[in-house]
Chain A
Amino acid sequence: NAGVTQTPKFQVLKTGQSMTLQCAQDMNHNSMYWYRQDPGMGLRLIYYSASEGTTDKGEVPNGYNVSRLNKREFSLRLESAAPSQTSVYFCASSEALSGRGSDTQYFGPGTRLTVL
């Protein structure tokens, strides 16, 4: 049982390049999330998916797109990377459909992205 896995672990991009961050969970969770972590700002929610086929914007969605490919996988795409997107990206999942507030979110190891 690997929990939440993310690839890649590290990535360096040039401004304007695109890339997709992959996330998968093996806990049969319904809800999945993408966060970014910046120094002194904690984690901020980018996008959320309550179930396969549904996605919603979080606090900082601009410049990102997501796909909930199936129940296990939730990817985050940067279409045209900018230096402001340099950050550590975390994927998370939780059990409940529609993200019941009291549910624990389980986090992946993170992807450290640098945009030059």
Chain B
Amino acid sequence: AQSVSQHNHHVILSEAASLELGCNYSYGGTVNLFWYVQYPGQHLQLLLKYFSGDPLVKGIKGFEAEFIKSKFSFNLRKPSVQWSDTAEYFCAVNSNDYKLSFGAGTTVTVRA
């Protein structure tokens, strides 16, 4: 089974700062990679995903992530955060089946 590590438990930053959240996984075969976000009081929703093709993936709300196979990483980035990006962010991985493995999550707090 895969394991997923998210490096930061809680990130606090100011509006307009850049954000990068780390995600590493343990599985060596073909993988599908996801970032989900949970805004306060809302459902988990998909930010972006990678399953093939260009390793630089763009998602909603200005987020992007880069799949680096050699580093088993799928880090999430946003050049300039807004207060509305305050949320919990989850990295998830599967090896082309239904069994999604989630990281522990990173809470991002953006101060106005």
List chain A positions with a Cβ less than 8 A from chain B. Answer: 3-4, 31, 33, 40-45, 48, 50, 58-59, 90, 92, 94, 98-102, 104-105, 107-110
Contacts and interface: CB of A to CB of B under 8 A. Distances in A.
Which of under 10, 10 to 19, 20 to 34, or 35 or more describes the interface residues of B? 20 to 34
9 contacts: A40-B104, A42-B103, A43-B102, A48-B98, A90-B44, A94-B98, A99-B97, A100-B96, A101-B95
Contacts of A110: 43
A41 B32 contact: no
A98 B98 contact: yes
Nearest to A6: B43
A46 B4 CA distance: 17
A31 B42 CA distance: 22
Residue in A43, A105, A107 with the greatest tally of chain B CB atoms within 10 Å = A43
A4 B43 CA distance: 10
Contacts, number: 61
Contacts of B86: none
B46 A104 contact: yes
Nearest to B1: A59
A101 B32 CA distance: 7
Interface pairs A-B: 10 shortest CB-CB: A99-B98, A42-B102, A101-B96, A102-B51, A107-B44, A43-B102, A101-B32, A101-B94, A42-B104, A102-B32
Contact of A42 (B4, B46, B94): B4
Contacts of B98: 31, 33, 48, 50, 94, 98-101
A109 B43 contact: yes
A111 B44 CA distance: 13
